[in-house]
């Protein structure tokens, strides 16, 4: 398994070099951290020079940016959105609420640790992080893709039962996009 | 029902992931073709249980979380919290601290207005304008970072005063930023406010008459755009608002264009207030120390304090029973009326292409509704 | 004389409601305690005769030791510029909802506040058109703002936290310092 991950074919390396410069971010403001996204996207701390653009539909986005805390009601919609995105996809946890609950650690309505529900690629520390910190972490993500190490999206298919059990413990309701998961896993031969 | 009606009447759910909604909010609408028959809002995506969190922490610990209730305009929260405790416990605030608090409130109001009108104009398709206002608002964020240490959440106003005094040269930098923003107002007018296309798109959208506004509980710039000259800073004065001169701009049409014009004119008034404060601020201490904050008890009592935030009337009702934690804090966000039933009333009868513009022109902020 | 305007308003109201207890707290703030059966008449008079057209908020306080809920109605008058806080008490049920009548046919903003109090405290407002859940749509537990619900215990038991055991924390806890 380790050999398969480190040896990439020439095509995969070229694909990584091209795709790392055109990552599209889903425009979904899930929590209070979203107030620092307009300065990052507009003229002052321009994010578009790295190729990162906001995109409105999850079917055409690569990065899911979870800006801050997630209440249980939003968590259900975020899991649905995550499953609708096409692989390879990257989740960036923004702020200290995704790490261990942050400011709302004793609240009855927010989730405490994001990577029990969906696999997370990188985290940005802060409450809230500055636009320069956001751009720094996007650069780290781009470097990780270039090296071929940004593979946490495969973890969702390998450990699907673990994630599903945690999701069902926290919120009820049918999560319907099971066919998308099977199709994606078959496509990438996982 | 005829076959045409079965095809034409439908329900649409505009969900939380949508660029046409200001934040994490959703509504269900019943439509007939393009016309909206009725709408129902669905909030709660941002619920954190603030009022419960505040009951389980000490009074001094709550100051760190209270600013996160309203995201674009966090300073009225800190001001309300500090003034509620001061009213219950009878604490005096030094004079210089009141002037500094007013300055911070006005700077926050300016930043929020720039964000708000940028958002409204962007829903009509003019994205260059919102790029300009968000970039100019960043100069105010830099001033906040210099004064308090944080760009967005300041944790600066404590019961008894403010946390620290101005750094050296701060007054000069504030006046420079005010001159800069004032010089940009001409460009804003040319690009968007006096632009014939924007006027054509924004007039007649979401009209609220004067009687409807008072009946529905509309407050803030939305109420002033309907012809009622009501402002908490003049009616129920707090801090030093009775010592500075400013006017209350009003319009009578009550549509989306009038609301944006009122906000644009209030930017000028806020700049003038900031200049007067820098001119007249007295010297002195900035904090009356709280004795031993970790074991501090506030005597029993209750208070209802109101502030004029950039979105409307913002109020806190605090009850204390003589212990170390607050017994009950009720937060009345400014958007509890605007974002919920004023929006439902206005959407019924309008068209779906104007729904996004109505929500942004009311400047409804979902975190205040959900707390 | 101090508080002239507020005292004249109190006199006018006291004539109509002799059983209520009025108090002028400071300038522009009047507090009144009413028996709960008289609140609806008071609200009608506030709106129709005395021109208090703005309902600012309805708050609920859980006095668990007295076994009562206290509902506070905040009314504001745009012309006189005075705020009146009307306080009533209703009995608190341990299981199920307490009941009270609604004022949402007089004031539209009351609908939101009454729905909020219903899901947070469990007080049902009879006669209201819409008492559905609003903010806590997937919640199965007790009304969360009641004083017998401790949010810290609930959060520690229900949610998973990340394990974080660095060496400095282990040393501190072995020496008996720190908590949790």
Structural domains in chain C, CATH included, are 4-174 (3.30.460.80)
Chain CA centroid to CA B145, Å: 20
How confident is the model over B131-190, as pLDDT tens digits?
899 999 999 999 999 998 888 888 898 888 888 888 888 999 999 999 999 999 999 998
- The helix (run of H) or strand (run of E) holding residue C169 is helix C167-174
Tokens of residue A3, six digits: 């050999």
- What's the domain range around B363? 52-370
Contacts of A116 in chain C (CB under 8 A): 160
Going by C-alpha positions, the residue among C81, C133, C103, C84 that lies closest to residue C36 is C103
Mean pLDDT of A145-151: 81
For residue C177, pLDDT over 70 is answered with: no
> What was the pLDDT predicted at A7?
66
Contact between A85 and B56 under an 8 Å Cβ cutoff? The reply is: no
Decide if B51 touches C, using CB distance below 8 A. Answer: yes
Q: How far is C154 from chain A (nearest CA, A)?
A: 7
> What was the pLDDT predicted at C180?
45
CA gap C25, B68 in Å, rounded: 30
CA gap A113, A102 in Å, rounded: 10
Pairwise CB contact (< 8 Å): C160 & A112: yes
> ω into residue A110 within 30 of 0, thus cis?
no
Contact between A91 and A64 under an 8 Å Cβ cutoff? The reply is: yes
Contacts of B80 in chain C (CB under 8 A): none
Mean pLDDT of C89-96: 81
* DSSP letters spanning chain A: -HHHHH---HHHHHHHHHHTT--EEE----SGGGGGHHHHHSSTT-SGGGT-EEES-GGG-SEEEEES--BHHHHHHHHHHHHHSPSS-EEEEESTHHHH-GGGTT-SSB-S-GGGTS---EEE-SSS--HHHHHHHHHHHHHHHHHT---HHHHHHHTHHHHHHHHHHH--S---THHHHHHHHHHTT-
* DSSP letters spanning B128-173: HHHHHHHHHHHHHHHHHHHHHS-SS----EETTEES--PPTTHHHH
Chains in contact with A, counting 3 or more C-beta pairs less than 8 Å apart as contact:
B, C
CA gap B121, B201 in Å, rounded: 10
Contacts of B327 in chain C (CB under 8 A): 61
Q: Is B356 helix (H, G, I), strand (E, B) or coil?
A: helix
Contact between A126 and A95 under an 8 Å Cβ cutoff? The reply is: yes
Sequence-separated (6 or more) residues with CB below 8 Å from residue B332: B313, B314, B315, B316, B317, C56, C57
Decide if A96 touches B, using CB distance below 8 A. Answer: no
Chains in contact with B, counting 3 or more C-beta pairs less than 8 Å apart as contact:
A, C
Q: How far is A183 from chain C (nearest CA, A)?
A: 30
Nearest CA in chain A to C158: A170
For residue C105, pLDDT over 60 is answered with: yes
Mean pLDDT of B88-109: 90
Mean per-residue pLDDT of chain C: 82
Decide if B28 touches C, using CB distance below 8 A. Answer: no
- For the sheet with B9-14, list strands across it: B9-14, B26-32, B35-42
B205 or C166: whose pLDDT is higher? B205
> What was the pLDDT predicted at A190?
58
How confident is the model over C23-51, as pLDDT tens digits?
888 888 888 898 888 888 888 888 888 88
Pairwise CB contact (< 8 Å): A106 & C160: no
Mean pLDDT of A42-70: 86
Going by C-alpha positions, the residue among C8, C12, C10, C29 that lies closest to residue C21 is C10
Sequence-separated (6 or more) residues with CB below 8 Å from residue B303: B83, B84, B87, B88, B317, B318
> What was the pLDDT predicted at A1?
44
Contact between A62 and A35 under an 8 Å Cβ cutoff? The reply is: no
CA gap A190, B127 in Å, rounded: 43
- The helix (run of H) or strand (run of E) holding residue B85 is helix B75-89
Q: How far is A43 from chain B (nearest CA, A)?
A: 6
Pairwise CB contact (< 8 Å): A73 & C137: yes
Mean pLDDT of A127-141: 88
Contact between B60 and B76 under an 8 Å Cβ cutoff? The reply is: no
> What was the pLDDT predicted at B266?
92
Pairwise CB contact (< 8 Å): C72 & B317: yes
What is the phi/psi pair of residue A76, to 5°? -60, -45
> What was the pLDDT predicted at A61?
87
Q: Helices A10-19 and A131-147 sit at what angle, rounded to 10 degrees?
A: 170
Pairwise CB contact (< 8 Å): B15 & A77: yes
* DSSP letters spanning C55-86: EEEEEEEEETTTTEEEEEEEEEETTTTEEEEE
Pairwise CB contact (< 8 Å): A39 & B134: yes
CA gap A77, A83 in Å, rounded: 10
Going by C-alpha positions, the residue among A188, A139, A163, A178 that lies closest to residue A23 is A139
* pLDDT band for position A6 (cuts 50, 70, 90): low
Pairwise CB contact (< 8 Å): A73 & B47: yes
Query: The domain spanning residue B95 has which CATH number?
Result: 1.10.645.10
Place of tokens 């549509």: B255
Query: The domain spanning residue A82 has which CATH number?
Result: 3.40.50.12280
The vertex-A7 CA angle with A120 and A141, nearest 5°, equals 30
Mean per-residue pLDDT of chain A: 81
- Please state whether beta strands B26-32 and B9-14 pair in parallel, antiparallel, or not at all (unpaired): antiparallel
> What was the pLDDT predicted at B108?
92
How confident is the model over B259-307, as pLDDT tens digits?
999 999 999 999 999 999 999 888 888 888 877 777 788 888 889 999 9
Pairwise CB contact (< 8 Å): A106 & C162: no
Phi-psi region of C79 (alpha: psi -120 to 50; beta: other; left: phi over 0): alpha
Pairwise CB contact (< 8 Å): C162 & A166: no
Q: Testing the interface with A: which of C136, C137, C138, C158 to mutate, by most A Cβ within 10 A?
A: C138
Mean pLDDT of B40-53: 85
The number of distinct structural domains making up chain A is: 1
For residue B5, pLDDT over 80 is answered with: no
Pairwise CB contact (< 8 Å): A113 & C156: no
| Interface predicted TM-score (ipTM) | 0.86
* pLDDT above 90 as % of chain A: 1
> Which member of B235, B306, B328 has the closest CB to residue C61?
B328
- What's the domain range around A123? 2-187
For residue C179, pLDDT over 60 is answered with: no
Pairwise CB contact (< 8 Å): A101 & C141: no
B230 or C138: whose pLDDT is higher? B230
> Which member of A106, A109, A113 has the closest CB to residue C162?
A113
Q: How far is A3 from chain B (nearest CA, A)?
A: 39
Interface of B with C in 335-354 (CB under 8 A): 336-337, 340-341
Q: How many residues does chain A have?
A: 190
């Amino acid at each position: 398994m380790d050999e398969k991950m480190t040896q990439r074919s020439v095509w995969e390396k070229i694909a990584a070099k091209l795709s790392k410069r055109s990552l599209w971010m889903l425009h979904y403001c899930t929590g209070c951290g979203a107030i620092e996204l307009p300065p990052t996207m507009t003229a002052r701390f321009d994010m578009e020079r790295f190729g990162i653009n906001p995109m409105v539909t999850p079917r055409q986005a690569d990065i899911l940016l979870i800006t801050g805390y997630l209440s249980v009601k939003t968590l259900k919609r975020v899991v649905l959105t995550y499953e609708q995105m096409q692989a390879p996809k990257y989740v960036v946890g923004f702020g200290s609420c995704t790490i261990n609950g942050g400011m709302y650690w004793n609240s009855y309505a927010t989730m405490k640790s994001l990577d029990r529900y969906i696999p997370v690629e990188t985290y940005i520390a802060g409450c809230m992080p500055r636009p320069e910190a956001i751009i720094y972490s996007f650069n780290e993500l781009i470097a990780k893709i270039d090296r071929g190490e940004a593979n946490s999206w495969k973890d969702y298919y390998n450990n699907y039962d673990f994630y599903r059990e945690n999701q069902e413990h926290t919120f009820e309701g049918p999560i319907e996009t099971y066919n998308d998961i099977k199709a994606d896993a078959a496509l990438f031969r996982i | 029902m005829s076959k045409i009606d079965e095809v034409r009447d439908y329900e649409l759910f505009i969900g939380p992931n949508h660029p046409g909604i200001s934040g994490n909010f959703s509504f269900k609408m019943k439509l007939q073709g393009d016309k909206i028959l009725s709408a129902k809002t669905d909030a709660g995506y941002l619920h954190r249980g603030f009022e419960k969190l505040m009951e389980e922490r000490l009074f001094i610990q709550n100051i760190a979380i209270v600013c996160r209730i309203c995201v674009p305009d966090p300073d009225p929260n800190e001001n309300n919290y500090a003034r509620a405790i001061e009213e219950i416990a009878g604490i005096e605030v030094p004079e210089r601290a009141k002037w500094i608090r007013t300055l911070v409130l006005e700077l926050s109001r300016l930043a929020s207005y720039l964000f708000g009108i940028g958002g409204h104009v962007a829903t009509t398709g003019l994205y260059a304008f919102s790029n300009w206002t968000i970039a100019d608002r960043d100069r105010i964020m830099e001033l906040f970072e210099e004064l308090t240490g944080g760009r967005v959440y300041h944790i600066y106003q404590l019961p008894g005063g403010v946390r620290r005094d101005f750094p050296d040269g701060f007054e000069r930098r504030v006046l420079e930023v005010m001159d800069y923003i004032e010089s940009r107002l001409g460009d804003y007018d040319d690009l968007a406010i006096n632009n014939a296309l924007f006027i054509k798109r924004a007039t007649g959208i979401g009209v609220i008459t004067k009687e409807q506004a008072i009946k529905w509980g509309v407050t803030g710039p939305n109420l002033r755009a309907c012809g009622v000259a009501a402002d908490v800073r003049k009616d129920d004065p707090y801090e030093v608002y009775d010592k500075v001169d400013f006017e209350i701009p009003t319009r009578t049409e009550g549509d989306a264009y009038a609301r944006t014009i009122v906000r644009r004119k209030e930017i000028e008034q806020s700049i003038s207030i900031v200049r007067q404060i820098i001119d007249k601020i007295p010297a002195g201490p900035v904090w009356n120390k709280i004795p031993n904050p970790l074991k501090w008890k506030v005597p029993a009592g209750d208070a209802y304090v109101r502030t004029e935030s950039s979105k409307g009337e913002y109020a806190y009702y605090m009850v204390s029973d003589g212990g170390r934690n607050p017994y009950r804090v009720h937060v009345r966000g400014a958007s509890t009326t605007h974002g919920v039933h004023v929006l439902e009333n206005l959407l019924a009868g309008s068209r779906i292409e104007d729904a996004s513009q109505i929500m942004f022109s009311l400047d409804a902020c979902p975190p205040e509704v959900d707390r | 004389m101090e508080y002239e305007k507020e005292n004249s308003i109190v006199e006018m109201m006291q004539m109509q409601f002799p059983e209520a207890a009025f108090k002028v707290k400071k300038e522009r703030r009047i507090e009144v305690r009413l028996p709960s059966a008289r609140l609806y008449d008071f609200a009608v008079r506030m709106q129709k005769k005395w021109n208090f057209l703005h309902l600012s908020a309805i708050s609920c306080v859980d006095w668990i030791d007295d076994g009562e809920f206290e509902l506070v109605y905040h009314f504001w008058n745009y012309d006189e510029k005075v705020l009146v806080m009307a306080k009533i008490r209703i009995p608190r049920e341990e299981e199920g909802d307490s009941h009270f009548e609604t004022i949402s046919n007089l004031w539209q903003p009351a609908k939101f506040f009454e729905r909020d109090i219903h899901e947070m405290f469990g007080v049902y407002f009879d006669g209201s058109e819409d008492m559905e859940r609003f903010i806590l749509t997937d919640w199965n537990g007790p009304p969360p703002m009641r004083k017998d619900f401790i949010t810290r215990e609930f959060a520690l038991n229900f949610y998973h936290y990340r394990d974080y055991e660095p060496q400095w924390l282990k040393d501190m806890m072995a020496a008996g310092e720190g908590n949790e």
